[in-house]
Chain A
């Protein structure tokens, strides 16, 4: 193996000598060009460094003297004279003969080497600084002592240790390899939560190491940090070694599993199902569904327990209730993760589909997959297959042109279809995009008018027009396909996705391709929600998209001059007042709260009377009557037995933005809550807010 390196060094050194030579010749022309001196220096430096590493000690030693000379030249301590340049050229030739000798060709004239060095000394006034062999060869590890001793080690790394890329844990691990190690963690320097800088290290360790190695070897472990840390390594008094039981009460013995336990546990929770056959068992889906149902019931009961405990104001019961709360949350997360599967198998299946279709249709397609490790509830994955097949078929069939057509259009003849998945809050986004001919906005619009889907006078945004191809009436019109390149059975896709409480977005540029984005909830059973109160009613907002809660005072409202916008730390956030949206009467408390939520339309606020806190939310489906209520994604049962509706912030914002844009284009993104919104939504809102709920 080392021969392979030697060969590589031989080749490289010869290249460097050529570089050195050209630099020297250039230097001869421009005597004070620092850049050129630097080039020569680097060449010599590398020859020296690599030479020593691969056992070319004579080359390294020789180059070292030249390097020293050029270092002085570089720093302006000596001048580049013609003599020095000529001598260095000769030295370069000498190095070449050394390399030749090592490769088995010819012999080195050692007298000549000596004379060159002597001449160099004369020119630069330097003595032979050739480093001794001990320096050049790797240091030998110190011989271990015989008897084991106890060492008291105190180690407090400097605050910036993490910023410099040191992981103190690894140092402790290395220490443990030297002998038996007892570690006591000193957390006394951790400041209050408010002033913690997450990038600083506040920890210190007091350790007792029982080892046979020399103290230098212990110190060596800390070599990279010793300059900026508190470190003391002292021989422990002997009685400590003879009676180790006494301090043990204070000291935590650390075993390898204890240090590493935390991370694997997290991993296990994330994907036990996907871990391969060896460590998994097959369980019928029914049993899993049952488990999740039971956990759902448990969560509901737990909510009642919390409620009752809160009312009783009994410390003991509160304590139990909190413990149950934590356990339920963990149990919930665990049982949900069991149902999670990576999208890989589903995605990979489409490779075959694309392959077969491209042969049938005589189109060349490069199919790429991204984010196949993204996990999604098994039920969702199962029901995702058909819509995806549909979308990919559509892309292949209508979107992508024949290779000839692509060439004429100036595109690469091989088309691409990209299938990707990624997490976004409590949702997973699945994208199918192609670089085919895309959708023609005007053609879609004309067709929609023709079919009576929209009024010719309505002004719609591009996204709104594209969403028309999802409408049922638009589906089977074959001739549209020829114009628009799309439109077969998209309403089927839409229905399947909406059944999963997902949504579809379409983006396209004519001639450049089309992207369909499916937004799906991570799970259909239980989510983390935030319980809020508006008037007498309670609502749940999904926690995953929520950013923060801030207060909205009368003054804030006055400052905005009637517009529904709030200034949250300098950011202008449009908001929707839920009591107005749902027409819940005029009463308005002195202080309201805004929940800031991340949506596709940027940050949006939802104004509520009060934010009550987290709520593990078991999603119950609404009855058939309410199926068309878009802004509500389900309902849940609260601890006191009443019902709270789960709001879909994404849809809420979309509705407001859309009705806002239809009625008041000039207002843009502004979520002005004008009456038209109410009118537009009134049919739905009356349904979605059962006033008699309480």
Chain B
């Protein structure tokens, strides 16, 4: 069974890139446009969440906190997408329970390497 990855980003092009890259590598990718949308999609089994931090409605940090507080999915790996200017946000995300991070911009190989690191 293909592992399921949820990509959460308000940018359609980032979602698309993540989706194409990971789908090519054999993962099943589902998309969410913000944290709130992501929570609704987490009711189905998901193996990994890749989330942006800046999003409307519910941002990445809020999403991480809610996932970690939910017994049904609290142990799943969460990777956040950060930018080099967001060092404090990164620390905030780590404190909230993020598994890892990728600094934007990133190349497809970096994405695959990080996904492999936390998902096997």
CB <8 Å contact, B120 and A8: no
CB distance from A567 to the nearest CB of B (A): 27
A138 at the B interface (CB under 8 A): yes
Contact of A550 with B by CB under 8 A: no
Assess whether A457 is interfacial by the CB under 8 Å rule.
no
Task: Tell me how far the C-beta of B96 lies from the nearest C-beta in chain A, rounded to whole angstroms.
Answer: 10
* Most chain A CB within a 10 A radius of its CB, from B12, B54, B105, B109: B105
Check if A45 sits within 8 Å of B16, measured CB to CB.
no
Interface flag for B26 (CB, 8 Å): no
Q: Are A5 and B20 interface neighbours, CB within 8 A? A: yes
Number of residue pairs spanning A and B whose beta carbons lie under 8 angstroms apart: 106
Q: Are A49 and B105 in contact (CB under 8 A)?
A: yes
Q: Which of B1-42 contact A (CB under 8 A)?
A: 10-14, 16-17, 20
CA distance A1 to B24 in the complex (A): 11
Is B112 among interface residues, defined by CB-CB distance under 8 A? no
Q: Check A54 against B84 for contact (C-beta < 8 Å).
A: no
How many Å lie between the Cα of A165 and that of B98 in the bound state?
Answer: 8
Point out the residues of chain A lying under 8 angstroms from B85, CB to CB: 67-68, 71
Whether B99 lies near A8 (C-beta < 8 A) is no
Min CB gap A53→B, angstroms? 4
Bound: A224/B100 CA distance, A: 5
Q: Is the CB of A170 within 8 A of B120?
A: yes
Q: How many residues of A contact B (CB 8 A)?
A: 46
Determine whether the beta carbon of B118 is less than 8 Å from that of A173: no
Q: Which residues of A contact B117 (CB under 8 A)?
A: 170-171, 174, 221, 224
Number of interface residues of B (CB under 8 A): 38
Q: Are B118 and A165 in touch, CB under 8 angstroms?
A: yes
Give Cα A199–Cα B75 distance, bound, in whole angstroms: 9
Given A165-B75, A170-B118, does the pair A42, B105 have CB atoms closer than 8 Å?
A: no
> What are the residues of chain B within 8 A of A138 when measuring CB–CB?
105-107, 109-110
The residue on B at minimum CB distance from A48 is B83
Partner of A223, one of B16, B74, B77, B100: B100
Contact of B13 among A9, A171, A221, A223 (CB under 8 A): A9
Smallest beta-carbon distance B79→chain A, Å = 9
The contact sample of 26 A-B pairs, CB cut-off 8 A, is A1-B20, A8-B12, A12-B12, A12-B13, A42-B54, A42-B55, A42-B56, A45-B83, A46-B11, A49-B11, A49-B14, A49-B105, A53-B17, A53-B106, A131-B84, A138-B106, A138-B109, A139-B110, A164-B97, A165-B75, A165-B97, A167-B77, A167-B120, A169-B120, A170-B116, A173-B120
Q: A11-B13, A49-B105 are in contact. List 4 more A-B contacts (CB 8 A).
A: A12-B12, A136-B105, A137-B105, A164-B77
- Which A residues contact B (CB, under 8 angstroms)? 1, 4-5, 8-9, 11-13, 38-39, 41-42, 45-46, 48-50, 52-54, 60, 67-68, 71, 131, 135-139, 162-167, 169-171, 173-174, 199, 221, 223-224, 227
